[in-house]
Amino acid sequence: MTGGRTRVAWFHCFSGIAGDMALGSLLDAGADLEEVVALLRRLDVDGWALDRETVHRAGIACTRAIVEVHDDVTARSAADVIAMVRAASLPTRVEHRALAVFAALADAEGRLHGRAPSEVHLHEVGGHDAIVDVVGTAAALEVLDIDEVTASPVAFGTGTVASAHGVLPNPPPAVLRLLEGAPAYGRPVAVELTTPTGAAILHALCTTYGPMPSMTLAASGYGAGAADLDGLANCTQVVVGTAAPARVGPGQPVAVLETNLDDATGEQLADALHSLLAAGALDAWVTAAVMKKGRPGHVLHVLCDPARAETLRAVLRRTTGTFGVRETSGRRWADARRMHEVVVTGATIRMKIGPERAKPEHDDVARAAAATGLPTHEIASRAEAAWRAGQASDLADADSANADSAGADLADADSAGADSAPGGTFSPG
């Protein structure tokens, strides 16, 4: 984030997207090539070089990411690729994003071939160029300090494409699997506009699809595809900026009930809080106070929907014996949140997920700490790490399962290649 503001990259896929097109667009938008290459060099793989060149697509000056390969390795297992990424000591977001893309490719290919993702062997996707495209895109996002990735509806070509498995329909089956649920449309162009690698990048990294989100524009870039097409700029556009602050609405009306108590025991106060929350209070709490005549006492506060105020006033009187209740009107602005679960040391920890953070439920943390002998702060830290590691996958099995699922099966999901030349042939990534 920049100054607490979210940095956004919006991919405009009017002419589709491929791995090299995504990487080229980010380089064109200002990601420093040397910094990207420095991160890529952390991978334990030789025989490649990444460069860029300026080309024109329908009159637009675009950057084409060029991966020169000096090795004949074209296939690796999913486990090999995942192990390579995990051993590279990449920045956290780079590692997570790259693993999420490879996991998406693995899952799609595994479903297509009816095999467990971990059993699939990679063909084009395991080659140097595809690995550089995926990890390079994750690295370029980090260099640009991108927090959130979004995209437009995605364009597909038509006809057929050549792959390691033979001639396939265009769009390739892996692309359709990866973009299930995403908005897409076809163009009457006999070119593979969107490749499995490009589709996997969107599947794994995009939070939303649609028009360009509201933002303060910082940069834009164009990543060229291999073919120069008549009547269509064969490139992916990326727009980078800082998300505009969400408009603050009028807020939710609330009532605040209060009563002063100088004769309530701790047991009575605890019972009152429990009863108020059970009766529908949004929140309830107690503060210490010095009452009239210098007596120590407490103020019991209740936050509630105005429609519940009468019911909760009655609960207050019944549980505390108070002679009076005050009520004031107010408003609140509550962030939306949802619940998810992770598993830490065999214990299920519920996570409260908001727009800015994920927080483990303390009751679950305390139970896990008591069962394992670990301190609560260690359990909470592991739960948060499990959530971060699994943002792009199902967190049901938490931290250890995240690595396994990410290493699933990169298969030959990218066998449809990176970009297609007219006539249906293509290059990987």
Angle subtended at Cα 341 by Cα 115 and Cα 275, rounded to the nearest 5 degrees = 155
Spatial separation of the C-alpha atoms in residues 114 and 108, rounded to whole Å? 10
Predicted TM-score of the model (pTM)? 0.60
Q: What is the pLDDT of residue 405?
A: 39
pLDDT digits (tens, 9 = 90+) for 305-330: 999 999 999 999 999 999 999 999 99
Q: What is the pLDDT of residue 43?
A: 93
Spatial separation of the C-alpha atoms in residues 79 and 411, rounded to whole Å? 10
Spatial separation of the C-alpha atoms in residues 257 and 277, rounded to whole Å? 13
Alpha helices in 41-91 (DSSP H): 78-86
Spatial separation of the C-alpha atoms in residues 13 and 236, rounded to whole Å? 6
| Range from 53-57, 272-276, 336-340, 347-351 carrying the lowest mean pLDDT | 336-340
350-364 mean pLDDT: 86
Q: Does 4 score more than 80 pLDDT?
A: no
Query: Of the ranges 105-114, 297-306, 392-401, which is most confident?
Result: 297-306
183-193 mean pLDDT: 94
Beta partners for 158? none
Angle subtended at Cα 300 by Cα 298 and Cα 306, rounded to the nearest 5 degrees = 160
Q: Does 413 score more than 90 pLDDT?
A: no
Q: What is the pLDDT of residue 246?
A: 63
Q: With contact defined as beta carbons under 8 Å apart, do 410 and 123 qualify?
A: no
Spatial separation of the C-alpha atoms in residues 138 and 24, rounded to whole Å? 12
| Range from 38-42, 197-201, 225-229, 331-335 carrying the lowest mean pLDDT | 331-335
Task: Give the chain's end-to-end CA distance (angstroms, integer).
Answer: 29
Angle subtended at Cα 31 by Cα 28 and Cα 32, rounded to the nearest 5 degrees = 110
Q: Does 402 score more than 50 pLDDT?
A: no
User: What are the distances in angstroms from CA 83 to CA 45, 205, 292?
Assistant: 12, 20, 69
| Range from 98-102, 201-205, 422-426 carrying the lowest mean pLDDT | 422-426
Q: What is the pLDDT of residue 129?
A: 81
Higher pLDDT, 339 or 265: 265
Q: Does 233 score more than 60 pLDDT?
A: yes
Parallel/antiparallel/unpaired status of strands 148-151 and 206-209: parallel
| Range from 158-162, 184-188, 205-209, 213-217 carrying the lowest mean pLDDT | 158-162
Q: What is the pLDDT of residue 427?
A: 33
Spatial separation of the C-alpha atoms in residues 272 and 286, rounded to whole Å? 10
Q: Does 154 score more than 60 pLDDT?
A: yes
H-run or E-run covering 289: strand 283-290
H-run or E-run covering 49: strand 48-57
Q: In a 10 Å sphere around its CB, with 0-12 CB exposed, 13-18 middle and 19+ buried, how is residue 367 labelled?
A: middle
348-368 mean pLDDT: 88
238-263 mean pLDDT: 87
Write down all domains in the chain, each with its CATH number in brackets: 7-246+409-427 (no CATH), 252-332 (3.30.70.1380), 338-406 (3.10.20.300)
| Helix, strand, coil share (%) of the chain residues, nearest 5 | 35, 30, 30
Q: With contact defined as beta carbons under 8 Å apart, do 24 and 64 qualify?
A: yes
| Range from 170-174, 199-203, 403-407 carrying the lowest mean pLDDT | 403-407
Cβ atoms within 10 Å of 148's Cβ, excluding its own: 18
Q: How confident is the model at residue 64 (pLDDT cuts 50, 70, 90)?
A: very high
173-189 mean pLDDT: 93
Q: What is the pLDDT of residue 248?
A: 62
What is the average pLDDT value for the chain, to the nearest integer?
A: 84
Q: Is 231 left (phi over 0), alpha (psi -120 to 50) or beta?
A: left
Residue corresponding to tokens 């009239």: 292
Q: What is the pLDDT of residue 106?
A: 83
Q: How many CA atoms lie within 13 A of 60 on its CB side?
A: 23
Compute the CA torsion angle 58, 35, 41, 43 (nearest 10 deg). Answer: -80
Q: What is the pLDDT of residue 128?
A: 77
Which percentage of the chain shows pLDDT scores above 90? 61
**What DSSP character marks residue 77?**
B
Spatial separation of the C-alpha atoms in residues 182 and 328, rounded to whole Å? 47
Token pair in block for residue 71: 């090795």
Q: What is the pLDDT of residue 225?
A: 95
pLDDT digits (tens, 9 = 90+) for 103-120: 888 888 778 766 666 665
Q: Which residue type is seen at 156?
A: F
Q: Is the peptide bond before 183 cis (omega within 30 degrees of 0)?
A: no
Q: What is the pLDDT of residue 165?
A: 65
Spatial separation of the C-alpha atoms in residues 212 and 231, rounded to whole Å? 23
Which percentage of the chain shows pLDDT scores above 70? 83
Higher pLDDT, 362 or 403: 362
256-270 mean pLDDT: 94
Spatial separation of the C-alpha atoms in residues 32 and 36, rounded to whole Å? 6
